[in-house]
Amino acid sequence: MIYGNIFPLPADVWGTVSDWAAVIVYGITGYLIYRTLQSQLKVQELQQIHAKIERYNHIQNILPAFNLEVSDVIANVNIDELHVKNVTCIFKLNNNVAKNVSYKVEVQVVVNNFSISGDNDFQFINSGEGFNISFNFDTKSIKYFPGSISYWIDINFLISYEDIEKNHYNQKCLLTITQNKSYVKSGYPISD
């Protein structure tokens, strides 16, 4: 009882050794629970990142995309002294399926006698299939390159459609027609 004489600690005030041991065990347990919860938060954050990556990969796997091809360009067909150019565009679906497909056409310059033919709405298009748009225009009414004898016309196509999970996309395609050549650019589908 050397300790009791030197450092008198009454049990009713300071508690017993078992009380102190319990406090120490509670402290260690609380610290370990805190570390466990921190670890679970990190795991949940990693799982959320992994789920986002998997969702992105899944959307890329089912993403339909159209390619623009120009199949027929018949130049300078004289109809009542107009120089008419006939163009047929083919929009082919690369992969997967597209539903509720519609498109809009925007011509960048003023063109006389511009007419479009082709269906505008499609309920369902399979992979490898597509749709055609044909149009005619008067080449005499088109702007010419400065210092050149060549004309050009830019035609923008905005295609709206859905994939099999009803994710909505817009895709822009550009057709540039000059007197000698046609240039196409198919944009990447953008989700709403």
CATH code of 154's domain: 2.60.40
**Coil, helix or strand at residue 52:** helix
Residue 72 lies in a domain: yes
Cβ-Cβ contacts under 8 Å for 109 (sequence gap 6 or more): 142, 143, 153, 154
Same domain, 121 and 172: yes
What pLDDT is attached to residue 189?
Answer: 87
Same domain, 85 and 177: yes
Mean pLDDT, rounded, for 89-110: 86
pTM exceeds 0.75 for this model = no
What pLDDT is attached to residue 79?
Answer: 46
Same domain, 99 and 153: yes
Q: Which two tokens stand for residue 94?
A: 């690369």
Q: 92 near 122, Cβ under 8 Å?
A: no
Residue 183 lies in a domain: yes
Same domain, 155 and 175: yes
Structural domains in the chain (count) = 2
Q: Which two tokens stand for residue 129?
A: 């299939």
What pLDDT is attached to residue 29?
Answer: 97
Same domain, 180 and 112: yes
Categorize the per-residue pLDDT at 108 as very low, low, confident or very high, splitting at 50, 70 and 90.
confident
- The model's pLDDT over 123-165, given as tens digits with 9 standing for 90+, comes to 888 888 888 888 877 766 665 656 665 667 788 999 999 999 9
Same domain, 58 and 76: no
Q: How many Å apart are CA 138 and CA 82, to the nearest integer?
A: 6
The residue segments making up the domain with residue 15 are 11-62
Residue 140 DSSP label: G
What pLDDT is attached to residue 88?
Answer: 85
Same domain, 91 and 78: yes
Single-letter code of the amino acid located at 96: N
Residue 79 lies in a domain: yes
On the 0-12 / 13-18 / 19+ scale of CB atoms within 10 A, 98 is: buried
Residue 153 lies in a domain: yes
Residue 2 lies in a domain: no
Q: How many Å apart are CA 161 and CA 167, to the nearest integer?
A: 8
What pLDDT is attached to residue 18?
Answer: 83
Residue 51 lies in a domain: yes
Residue 169 lies in a domain: yes
On the question of pLDDT at 25 being above 90, the answer is yes
What pLDDT is attached to residue 158?
Answer: 93
Same domain, 27 and 101: no
Q: 69 near 184, Cβ under 8 Å?
A: yes
Domain C-terminal end among 62, 86, 104: 62
Residue 115 lies in a domain: yes
**Which tops the pLDDT comparison, 73 or 2?**
73
Give me the helices (H) in 63-160, please. none
What pLDDT is attached to residue 112?
Answer: 63
Same domain, 21 and 101: no
What pLDDT is attached to residue 148?
Answer: 60
Cβ-Cβ contacts under 8 Å for 84 (sequence gap 6 or more): 76, 77, 78, 113, 136, 137, 138, 139
Same domain, 51 and 83: no
Cβ-Cβ contacts under 8 Å for 61 (sequence gap 6 or more): 96
